[in-house]
Chains A and B, each alone.
Chain A
């Protein structure tokens, strides 16, 4: 039986959330991803964590909420409510610089700033740098990759396929 700890500080909760990783991209913490929008602790120790989904149907969100609960529970924080917030909608602009570097080291090209209008059909996109060999000589295979948040690219120099964390 885990005893309810004394009321934690909000700073402490943020530290614990830094230790919760994304189940699909384990090198990223949920803070790197920018999906934790708010933390609030009430006087009686009730903790509120507000998260926002990356994509509407992202199956990782259930796992993330469970991981948050488990991490806080392990520290004795039993009074927890997780809130789901849709607006403002998540954007890759909220991803931390540290997160982008971790992504690239992991073999996933990090999101660039959005270029051009989405209705610009067959439009030229800015080249995405290959995370394996660093070449900018790459091509888009598909806007839809292995998970909702990634597009599928290929390097034309080292020929390796790679994921690109797409702008959103």
Chain B
């Protein structure tokens, strides 16, 4: 850690609420970390150099965001665990990321659609968190929303290019929609932790965010000449620790160094 984080001021809340806040910040951290790792798998394999670089950049932004959350989560927990312990030394069932972000990369269209679905949620969530009562969480959001704005612009433009592109690009994007749409609902379906924090005003209302997401998706899909899927059954469970088989393989790689050489620092 390059600089002191002694300026983190914890919100004045009950121990119970603080525990809930810890779980929520950890969920944000895991989500950014797992997606950052997934996108980083493209490094050196992108379809063209510029997009390879774009994905590495986005991955780095998300990794930086994850780190800010993990540092804060460690402070909230107050049990002596560090950002490294939280990121690298927990089993899969303790990770709280939604199922969407752990899904494998597939082809470029698959990665673009996963990114687009996440970016829509991520951007609008950060906009709201900036105004929240938790000043440290708001500061992280204020920093990250500027980066997330570049991400949503990038993935939106790619959805349009691929959807309104060649027969092949469109076929691949439609296939990705068929596989990934089912993971979209979990993002705005609150867990009991999120419900508690929503009632206390710490987490924004997801119904309002969902409206903004839907408006953006409708606009982008119209330009991409794609119909917006209706009536899809939504999977969930990741935010409660019930993951797909993919997360275990991802963590095996992600945690390898820390487990093989314990005590390494970020």
Q: Which residues of B contact A89 (CB under 8 A)?
A: 139, 142-143, 146
Interchain CB contact under 8 A, A56 and B3: no
With an 8 Å Cβ cutoff, the count of chain A residues facing the other chain is: 34
Q: At the interface with chain A, which of B47-55, B179-187, B247-255?
A: B47-55
Interface presence of B149 (CB below 8 A): yes
Contact of A86 among B68, B149, B223 (CB under 8 A): B68
Q: At the interface with chain B, which of A14-22, A71-79, A105-113, A141-149?
A: A141-149
Q: Which of A29-74 contact B (CB under 8 A)?
A: 51, 53, 55-59, 61-62, 65-66
Q: Which residues of B contact A119 (CB under 8 A)?
A: 149, 152-153, 156, 216
Size category of the B interface is 35 or more
> Measured between alpha carbons, how far is A53 from B142 in the docked complex, in Å?
12
Interface presence of B5 (CB below 8 A): yes
Interchain CB contact under 8 A, B146 and A152: no
Interchain CB contact under 8 A, B142 and A88: yes
Q: A87-B139, A89-B143 are in contact. Are A56 and B64 (CB under 8 A)?
A: yes
Count of CB-CB pairs between chains A and B under 8 Å: 106
Interface presence of A81 (CB below 8 A): yes
> Measured between alpha carbons, how far is A116 from B64 in the docked complex, in Å?
26
Instruction: Please list the residues of chain B having a beta carbon within 8 angstroms of any beta carbon in chain A.
Output: 2-7, 50-51, 53-54, 56-58, 60-65, 67-68, 135-136, 138-140, 142-144, 146-147, 149-150, 152-154, 156-157, 160, 216, 220, 223
CB pairs A–B below 8 angstroms (10 shown): A56-B147, A57-B62, A81-B4, A84-B3, A85-B7, A87-B142, A87-B143, A119-B149, A119-B153, A152-B50
> Measured between alpha carbons, how far is A66 from B2 in the docked complex, in Å?
8
Write the nearest CB–CB distance from B80 to chain A, whole angstroms.
Answer: 21
Instruction: Please list the residues of chain A having a beta carbon within 8 angstroms of any beta carbon in chain B.
Output: 51, 53, 55-59, 61-62, 65-66, 81-90, 118-119, 121-122, 141-146, 148, 152, 168
Write the nearest CB–CB distance from A73 to chain B, whole angstroms.
Answer: 15
Q: A57-B61, A148-B60 are in contact. Are A83 and B53 (CB under 8 A)?
A: no
> Measured between alpha carbons, how far is A143 from B150 in the docked complex, in Å?
8
Interchain CB contact under 8 A, A58 and B3: no
> Measured between alpha carbons, how far is A154 from B3 in the docked complex, in Å?
37
Write the nearest CB–CB distance from A4 to chain B, whole angstroms.
Answer: 19
Write the nearest CB–CB distance from A112 to chain B, whole angstroms.
Answer: 16
Write the nearest CB–CB distance from A56 to chain B, whole angstroms.
Answer: 3
> Measured between alpha carbons, how far is A72 from B100 in the docked complex, in Å?
47
**Which A-B residue pairs are the 7 nearest by beta carbons?**
A57-B64, A56-B64, A87-B139, A84-B3, A144-B54, A57-B60, A118-B149
Write the nearest CB–CB distance from A60 to chain B, whole angstroms.
Answer: 10
> Measured between alpha carbons, how far is A162 from B50 in the docked complex, in Å?
13
Q: Which of B61, B64, B143, B152 has the most CB of A within 10 A?
A: B143
> Measured between alpha carbons, how far is A82 from B154 in the docked complex, in Å?
35
Residue of chain B at shortest CB distance from A146: B53
Write the nearest CB–CB distance from B232 to chain A, whole angstroms.
Answer: 25
Interchain CB contact under 8 A, A144 and B65: no
